[in-house]
């Protein structure tokens, strides 16, 4: 029995790079002590990071599975674990276990489709792995549109990557927006749900939503207004997860366990769940 | 039988409800059996008529429910208070925990409540329980009827009842009683006379059963913090389970300390403990120490009293003098 | 089937205890509890133990692993060790059923090795309930207290104990006991079974039934107005969850000992206000939501995910222990439509 | 004290305005007291929550002493009076639970009483040493 691997026991990870994205978001690069990726994952899956003595917390893996060298996590400072993570230096060891949850159906339902990614704030983190996966296998998917908004310019996560890489890809359109005017900002100003409606997308796309609940609510309504069906819209709820292995009894919405049946849900599936999110 | 029957209380409640004095009633609701009575809010006379009970198992102290209940509406709520409940009622008022104007308190006399755990210790599979004078007749499913002396199966707090006198009410049903010179500190004194080793062994045995269900805290009318230190993940002591025997002790010492001077000795903590730990002894130790060190004090006897632990005199005894007193082994 | 006369129970226990640690219910001042058998310990006559038998496989706290930290480095120390064999005697039918319910959680992929370790090393000797109590409603969940499962089932009559092996593990143990037990015919235990069956049928809660609950009833029951009244007086303590043989929610916490970190698991309760508190907020803010979660989990969510199996075994502990006497029976009666009314 | 002798770990909560300065004075005057006395500075003796004391025992302390201003001399007028009541009740409770009463103490030490500070610590350390290791309020997980 004791030679079996237990899902609660993590492995050691080393933080090899820390990038400051915004005033409260940092992106951490993690590998095992011998320099490898800790485990393979699929786009949309999560991993449990922990600092012994502080606690464990679940994070979306922001790097794409196609990255064979390391994993990345974009983490916003909002609790004890994240606070600790933000205070660490390169070379610090942490523990990591996973991957947890289902993934976006990038190899099935999404194939051959035009993709519309809509994110707000730190909500870009779970989508980044999908976006980069789609960019890696560019020929499998149609046009890619990315609508991304944040409070201010400084709060746009992965701004450098968006401008330098995503915007330059053929067939990838990036639409950025910030909530309030800023002197040095020349792009769009306004909230994401309105911007999506203004942009007026064709309805033959798959839409993937991630952001604050209020943004999701209004964007979903907006998408439906312009003709999207709920079966075309996906979202992720990894915020609710705790143990990751479907046992601790916290993350369920009705009979669905977010850590096993989710975190990725199609919006029509969400409708069938009781109103508890 | 209780002097006051259920019907008297139901009629009183219906009367106050139809007169518009109150629009709901905090009372005891009938359960599946004779003894599993739940505190409930009754808002119609119909509900009262069907489900209200008043019998030997109405131990629940409603004072704490008033905090939540008075926040729900601008209208008055009727609450039935047994004498011991009125002390908690006053203590909560002293601490400004609810609005007195939103409560209509009816004092009811009490002959002591029966401890179901005590009955079940010797009798399992109980069909019905009937009161007959000073006796309780337990009708069992397989072993016939068993007659018990009512005085033997009272809740501990009722065996050592400290007061039959109501210290707060808007209206009183029946006659008021007197404050009783009870033997409630005898058990504390007995423990004090033991050697330190014996006391340690006693508490080690009792507290080791704790499962940290928090029932003692959650039922306690003195534990009304919006957020308890033991629930706060940032407190460093948010221990959900007794992972070590130290944590059981810490929880119970700190809990008793936090209510010291405010505990009215209502005994609810011991009544609800699923593991039968005599938690009231910890509270009574503090009460008896306070009485001895700083003068007689009964929390809740009057609204507005200043609790001894938030008070001082320049002549107080030194902590070094506090130990080893009154029969404690020297 | 084997049998042994009651006056030789001590012999039976000492024989079992030769090969494995033996636990059995013994009486204490505060009701029956499982204890290690040693010479002189008497089997309790109580219907059931105050705490459930789940502790044997899912203890209230257990250490999962240790960490040693030095500078920026972390060492993970796997503290697991192979569990010693043990035997639990006198487990009632309801508690035996609870193991099946826990199995489906802990042994589901990914397997919880801490649980599995103990589960594999434990032998369960069940015992039929001669005197089921008024708070028993195991029948509601398809459990027959006259035919308990487990590795070995036993029946106690006025003068003898009948033993019947139900699994391979049980057969192995029972055959090791052959020299102190005598052969018996299945029919010999029949009168006792019949007596129990007849008693079970006459229990006050015998008619309680589950048709209003189970797979697919989520949306129907979730917004039922009855939850408000039912949860009104709930204190939000964890008594019901901790005495419940099937409640298995847990928390994982770290404890800094000053010379390392211990990561341990402990029982948690969905009734606690902080239960679902995460960095982003709390999913279930009101006691109504938390109360509903507990009963919906037992009566709807669990069966939905587990082929209709309910995660209540009708042991009645919550009826006995709830500080305010609210319990699953009252919930079922209130929500269960006319049939249970 | 001999080298191989058991040395108790003492936690001393010292008021910033008096005993902490008293400890300083003891140091300046080269008065010796056991090195195993760990001083924790608090703004006032009444800052010491009963939980602090229990947690000190949990993490391995064998004795806990609280030092504050003499009654009447509190920097905040009345803090030490509250300390006096709280600790009287707490110590009595610890004794009630069978925990050796000599393991806890309150002393009033002013900023000028460097000698008293050293003396108090020596005496307390000796008393605790005589009791031996703290077993009754220990947390087994914190033992090496």
**Tokens linked to A230:** 């709920």
For the residues C212-234, what does the mean pLDDT come to? 91
Select from C188, B118, D49 the least CA-distant residue to D13. D49
User: Shortest CA distance to B238 belongs to which of B229, B225, B227?
Assistant: B229
**Average pLDDT value for residue range C218-230:** 91
CB atoms under 10 Å from CB of C228, counted, come to 12
Q: A230-244, B74-88, B285-299: which range is least confident on average?
A: A230-244
A vs C, Cβ pairs < 8 A, gives 139
Mean pLDDT, residues B189-217 = 93
The residue-averaged pLDDT of C156-160 equals: 94
Task: Give the model's confidence band at D30: pLDDT under 50 very low, under 70 low, under 90 confident, else very high.
Answer: very high
Cβ atoms A138, A169 nearer than 8 A: yes
Query: Which residues of chain C are within 8 Å of residue D60 when distances are taken between CB atoms?
Result: 258
Identify the pLDDT of residue B330: 39
d(CA C218, CA A145) in angstroms, rounded, equals 37
For residue B134, the number of C-alpha atoms closer than 13 Å in the C-beta half-sphere is: 3
The partner residue sitting opposite C255, judged by closest CB among D60, D141, D144, is D141
pLDDT > 90 in chain D, percent: 88
Q: How far is CA A202 from CA A59, A218, C163, D118, in A?
A: 32, 18, 72, 83
The strand order across the sheet containing C73-78 reads C73-78, C61-70, C261-267, C250-256
Q: What pLDDT was estimated at residue B329? A: 45
C220 vs C153 pLDDT, higher one: C153
Taking the Cβ of residue D142 and every Cβ of chain C, the question of whether any pair is shorter than 8 Å is answered with yes
pLDDT classification of A1: cutoffs 50, 70, 90 = low
Using the Cβ of A3 and the Cβ atoms of chain C, whether some distance falls under 8 Å is answered with no
CATH of the domain at D33: 3.40.50
pLDDT at C339: 57
Q: What was the pLDDT predicted at B320?
A: 85
Residue window 136-165, chain C: list those with CB within 8 Å of chain D: none
In this predicted structure, the answer to whether residue D4 has a pLDDT above a threshold of 70 is: no
Q: Answer whether residue D144 is part of any domain.
A: no
Mean pLDDT, all residues of chain C? 93
Q: Is residue B65 pLDDT above 90, yes or no?
A: yes
For residue A166, pLDDT over 70 is answered with: yes
Q: Which residues span the domain enclosing D111?
A: 10-137
Local confidence band at C279 (pLDDT 50, 70, 90 cut-offs): confident
Q: From the options 3.50.50.60, 3.40.50.150, 3.40.50.80, 3.30.530.20, give the CATH code of A114-236.
A: 3.40.50.80
Query: In Å, how far is B327's CA from the nearest CA of chain C?
Result: 28
For residue A19, give every residue at least 6 positions away whose Cβ sits within 8 Å of its Cβ, in sequence order, or none.
A26, A27, A28, A29
Which among B268, B10, B39, B5 is positioned nearest to B131, based on CA atoms?
A: B5
Q: Does C266 touch chain D (CB under 8 A)?
A: no
The dihedral region occupied by A216, where left means phi > 0, alpha psi between -120 and 50, and beta the remainder, is alpha
What pLDDT, on a 0 to 100 scale, did the predictor assign at position A49? 94
Range B94-117 average pLDDT: 94
Burial of A200 (0-12, 13-18, 19+ CB in 10 A): exposed
Q: Any idea what the Cα angle at residue C311 is, between residues A262 and C341, rounded to 5°?
A: 115
Beta bridge pairs of residue A76: A25
User: What pLDDT is recorded for position C341?
Assistant: 52
Which residues of chain A form CATH 2.40.30.10?
Answer: 11-99
Count of all residues that appear for chain A in the document: 277
Confidence check: pLDDT of B37 > 90: yes
- B227 burial via Cβ count (<10 Å: 0-12, 13-18, 19+): exposed
- pLDDT value, residue D54: 94
Report how far residue B131's alpha carbon sits from residue B153's, in angstroms, rounded to the nearest whole number.
12
Distances (CA, A) of B242 to C268, D8, D140: 12, 27, 12
| CB atoms B214 and C199 under 8 Å | no
> A139-160 pLDDT, tens per residue?
999 999 999 999 999 998 888 8
Helix axis angle, B65-72 relative to B83-94, nearest 10°? 60
**What average pLDDT does this structure show over A261-265?**
90
- A248, A242 contact by CB (below 8 A): yes
pLDDT at B325: 58
Q: Do chains C and A touch (3 or more CB pairs under 8 A)?
A: yes
Tell me the domain boundaries of chain B.
Answer: 6-114+160-172, 116-153, 186-322
User: In a 3-state reduction of DSSP, which class is residue C288?
Assistant: helix
Is the Cβ pair B254, D105 closer than 8 Å?
no
Average pLDDT value for residue range B132-145: 92
**At residue B172, does pLDDT exceed 70?**
yes
Q: Identify the helix (H) or strand (E) that includes residue C160.
A: strand C160-165
Contact residues on chain B for D98, CB-CB shorter than 8 A: 196-204
Q: Using the CB atoms, write b or e for C14-44: b if 16+ within 10 Å.
A: ebbbeebebbbbbbbebbbbbbebeeeeebb
Residue D38 token pair: 């760990």
How many structural domains does chain D have?
1
- Which CATH number applies to A11-99: 1.10.1040.10, 2.40.30.10, 1.10.486.10, 3.50.50.100? 2.40.30.10
Phi, psi for residue B157 in degrees, rounded to 5:
-65, -25
Q: Is the pLDDT of residue D104 over 70?
A: yes
Give chain B as a 3 state SS string. CCCCCHHHHHHHHHHHHHCCCCCEEEEEECCCCCCCCEEEEECCHHHHHHHECCCCCCCCCCCCHHHHHHHHCCCCEEEEECHHHHHHHHHHHHCCCCCHHHEEEEECCCCCCECHHHHHHHCCCEEEEEEECCEEEEEECCCCEEEEEHHHHECHHHHCCCECCCCCCCEECCCCCCECCCCCCHHHHHHHHCCHHHHHHHHHHHHCCCCCCCHHHHHCCCCCCCCCCCCCCCCCCCCCCCCCHHHHHHHHHHHHHHCCCCCCCCCHHHHHCCCCCCCHHHHHHHHHHHHHHHCCCCCCCCCCCCCHHHCCCCCCCCHHHHCCCCCCCC
Q: Which chains touch C (3 or more CB pairs under 8 A)?
A: A, B, D
pLDDT score of D3 more than 80: no
Q: Greater confidence, D47 or A252?
A: D47
Q: Are residues C112 and A6, on separate chains, in Cβ contact within 8 Å?
A: yes
Structure tokens at A36: 């490898």
pLDDT at B326 exceeding the cut of 60 = no
Structure tokens at C126: 């069940």
Question: Does pLDDT of B2 surpass 50?
Answer: no
CA–CA separation, C174 and C165 (whole Å): 7
Q: Which helix (H) or strand (E) holds A22?
A: strand A11-22
State which H helix or E strand residue C96 sits in: helix C93-106
What letter would DSSP give residue A183? Answer: T
Quick check: B327 pLDDT over 60? no
Confidence bin at B1 (pLDDT 50/70/90): very low
**Percent residues over pLDDT 90 in chain C:** 87
| CA atoms of B258 and B230, how far apart (whole Å) | 12
Q: Does C262 lie at the interface with D, CB-CB under 8 angstroms?
A: yes
Q: C-alpha C293: how far from its chain's center? A: 19
Residues of chain B contacting C319 with CB distance shorter than 8 Å: 32, 36
For range B302-306, the mean pLDDT: 92
pLDDT tens string D106-120: 999 999 999 999 999
DSSP string for chain D: --TTS----EEEEEETTTHHHHHHHHHHTT----TTEEEEEESSGGG--HHHHHHHHHTT-SEEEEEEPPTT--TTSSHHHHHHHHHHHHHHHHHHTT--GGGEEEEE--TT-HHHHHHHHHHHHHHHHHH-S--TT--GGG--
Instruction: Give the lowest-confidence range in A197-206, C136-145, C298-307, D73-82.
Output: A197-206
Residue D16 has which token pair?
Answer: 């910033």
C62 φψ region: left (φ > 0), alpha (ψ -120 to 50), beta (else): beta
Over 70: is that where the pLDDT of D67 sits?
yes
> Is the pLDDT assigned to residue C67 strictly greater than 90?
yes
Gap between the Cα atoms of B81 and C203, Å rounded: 35
- What pLDDT does residue C204 have? 93
* Selection from C328, C237, C273, C229 nearest residue B219 by Cα: C237
Q: Contact, C264 vs B240, CB < 8 A?
A: no
| Residue B328: per-residue pLDDT | 46
pLDDT of amino acid C181: 94
pLDDT reported for residue A98:
86
Q: What is the pLDDT of residue D1?
A: 45
Assess D59–C contact: CB distance below 8 Å, yes or no: yes
CB atoms within 10 A of CB B192: 19
Q: Would the CB atoms of B141 and C134 count as touching at under 8 Å?
A: yes
Which of residues 93 through 112 in chain C touch D, CB cutoff 8 A?
A: none
Mean pLDDT of C193-222: 92
């Amino acid at each position: 029995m004791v030679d079996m691997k237990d899902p609660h026991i993590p492995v050691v990870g080393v933080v090899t790079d820390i990038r400051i994205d915004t005033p409260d978001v940092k992106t951490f690069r993690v590998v095992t002590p011998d320099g490898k990726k800790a485990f393979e994952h699929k786009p949309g899956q999560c991993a449990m990071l922990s600092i012994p003595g502080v606690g464990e917390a679940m994070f979306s893996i922001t790097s794409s599975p196609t990255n064979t060298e390391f994993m990345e996590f974009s983490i916003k400072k909002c609790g004890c674990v994240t606070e600790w993570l933000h205070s660490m230096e390169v070379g610090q060891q942490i523990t990591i276990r996973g991957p947890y949850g289902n993934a976006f159906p990038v190899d099935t339902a999404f194939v051959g489709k035009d993709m519309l990614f809509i994110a707000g704030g730190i909500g870009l983190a779970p989508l980044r792995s999908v976006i980069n996966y789609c960019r890696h296998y560019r020929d499998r998917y149609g046009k890619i549109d990315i609508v991304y908004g944040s409070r201010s310019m400084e709060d746009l996560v992965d701004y450098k990557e968006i401008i330098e890489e995503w915007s330059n890809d053929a067939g990838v359109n990036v639409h950025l927006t910030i909530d309030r005017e800023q002197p040095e900002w020349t792009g769009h100003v306004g909230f994401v749900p309105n911007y999506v409606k203004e942009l007026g997308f064709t309805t033959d796309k798959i839409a993937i939503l991630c952001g604050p609940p209020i943004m999701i609510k209004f964007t979903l309504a907006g998408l439906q207004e312009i003709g999207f069906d709920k079966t075309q819209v996906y979202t992720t709820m990894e915020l609710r997860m705790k143990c990751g292995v479907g046992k601790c009894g916290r993350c369920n919405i009705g009979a669905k366990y977010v850590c096993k049946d989710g975190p990725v849900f199609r919006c029509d599936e969400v409708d069938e769940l009781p109103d508890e999110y | 039988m209780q002097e006051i029957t259920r019907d008297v209380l139901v009629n009183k409640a219906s009367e106050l409800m139809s007169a518009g004095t109150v629009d709901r009633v905090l009372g005891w609701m009938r359960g599946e059996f004779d003894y599993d009575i739940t505190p409930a809010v009754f808002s119609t006379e119909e509900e009262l008529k069907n489900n209200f009970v008043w019998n030997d198992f109405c131990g629940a102290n409603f004072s704490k429910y008033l905090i939540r209940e008075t926040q729900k509406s601008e209208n008055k709520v009727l609450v039935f208070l047994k004498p011991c409940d009125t002390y908690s009622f006053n203590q909560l008022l002293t601490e400004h925990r609810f609005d007195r104007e939103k409560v209509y308190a009816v004092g009811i006399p009490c002959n002591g409540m029966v401890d179901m755990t005590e009955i079940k210790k010797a009798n399992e599979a109980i069909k019905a329980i009937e009161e007959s004078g000073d006796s309780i007749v337990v009708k069992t499913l397989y072993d016939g009827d068993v007659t018990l002396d009512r005085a033997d199966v009272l809740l501990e707090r009722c065996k050592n009842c400290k007061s039959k006198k109501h210290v707060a009410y808007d209206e009183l049903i029946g006659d008021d009683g007197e404050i009783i010179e009870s033997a409630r500190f005898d058990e504390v004194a007995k423990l004090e006379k033991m050697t330190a080793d014996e006391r340690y062994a006693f508490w080690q045995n009792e507290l080791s059963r704790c499962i940290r269900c928090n029932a003692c805290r959650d039922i306690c009318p003195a534990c009304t913090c919006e957020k308890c230190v033991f629930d706060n993940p940032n407190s460093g002591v948010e221990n959900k389970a007794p992972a070590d025997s130290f944590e059981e002790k810490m929880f119970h010492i700190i809990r008793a300390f936090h209510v010291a001077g405010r505990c009215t000795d209502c005994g609810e903590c011991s009544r609800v403990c699923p593991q039968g730990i005599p938690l009231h002894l910890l509270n009574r130790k503090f009460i008896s120490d306070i009485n001895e060190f700083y003068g007689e004090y009964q929390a809740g006897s009057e609204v507005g009293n200043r609790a001894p632990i938030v008070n001082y005199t320049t002549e107080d005894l030194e902590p070094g003098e506090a130990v080893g007193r009154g029969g404690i082994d020297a | 089937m084997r049998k042994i006369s009651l006056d030789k129970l001590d012999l039976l226990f000492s024989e079992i205890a030769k090969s494995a640690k033996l636990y059995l219910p013994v009486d204490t001042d505060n009701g029956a509890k499982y204890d290690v058998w040693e010479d002189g310990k008497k089997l309790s006559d109580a219907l059931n133990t105050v705490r459930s038998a789940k502790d044997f496989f899912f203890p209230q706290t257990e250490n999962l692993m240790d960490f040693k930290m030095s500078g920026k480095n972390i060492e993970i120390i796997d503290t697991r060790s192979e569990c010693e064999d043990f035997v639990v005697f006198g487990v009632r039918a309801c508690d035996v059923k609870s193991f099946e319910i826990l199995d489906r959680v802990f042994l589901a992929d990914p397997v919880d090795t801490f649980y599995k370790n103990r589960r594999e090393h434990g032998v369960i000797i069940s015992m039929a309930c001669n005197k089921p109590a008024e708070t028993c409603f195991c029948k509601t969940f398809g459990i027959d207290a006259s035919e308990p499962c487990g590795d070995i089932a036993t029946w106690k009559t006025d003068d003898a104990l009948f033993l019947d092996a139900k699994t391979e593990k049980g057969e192995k143990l029972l055959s090791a006991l052959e020299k102190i037990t005598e052969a018996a015919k299945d029919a010999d235990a029949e009168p006792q079974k019949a007596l129990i069956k007849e008693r079970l049928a006459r229990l006050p809660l015998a008619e309680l039934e589950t048709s209003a609950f189970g797979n697919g009833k989520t949306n129907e029951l979730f917004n039922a107005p009855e939850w408000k009244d039912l949860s009104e007086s709930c204190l939000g303590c964890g008594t019901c969850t901790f005495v419940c043989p099937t409640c298995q929610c847990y928390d994982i916490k770290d404890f800094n000992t000053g010379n390392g970190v211990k990561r341990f698991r402990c029982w948690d309760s969905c009734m606690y206000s902080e239960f679902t508190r995460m960095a982003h907020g709390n999913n279930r803010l009101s006691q109504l939501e938390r109360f509903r979660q507990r009963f919906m989990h037992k009566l709807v969510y669990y069966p939905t995910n587990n082929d209709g199996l309910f995660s209540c075994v009708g042991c009645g502990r919550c009826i006995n222990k709830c500080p305010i006497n609210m319990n699953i029976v009252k919930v079922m009666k209130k929500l269960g439509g006319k049939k249970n009314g | 004290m001999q080298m191989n002798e058991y040395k108790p770990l003492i936690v001393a909560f010292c008021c910033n305005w008096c005993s902490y300065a008293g400890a300083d004075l003891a140091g300046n005057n080269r008065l010796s007291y056991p090195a195993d006395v760990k001083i924790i500075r608090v703004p006032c003796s009444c800052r010491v929550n009963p939980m602090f004391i229990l947690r000190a025992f949990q993490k391995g302390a064998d004795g806990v002493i609280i030092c504050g201003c003499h009654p009447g001399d509190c920097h905040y007028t009345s803090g030490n009076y509250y300390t006096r009541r709280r600790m009287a009740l707490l110590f009595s409770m610890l004794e009630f639970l069978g925990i050796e009463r000599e393991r806890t103490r309150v002393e009033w030490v002013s900023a000028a009483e460097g000698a008293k500070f050293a003396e108090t610590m020596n005496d307390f350390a000796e008393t605790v040493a005589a009791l031996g290791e703290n077993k009754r309020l220990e947390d087994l997980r914190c033992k090496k």
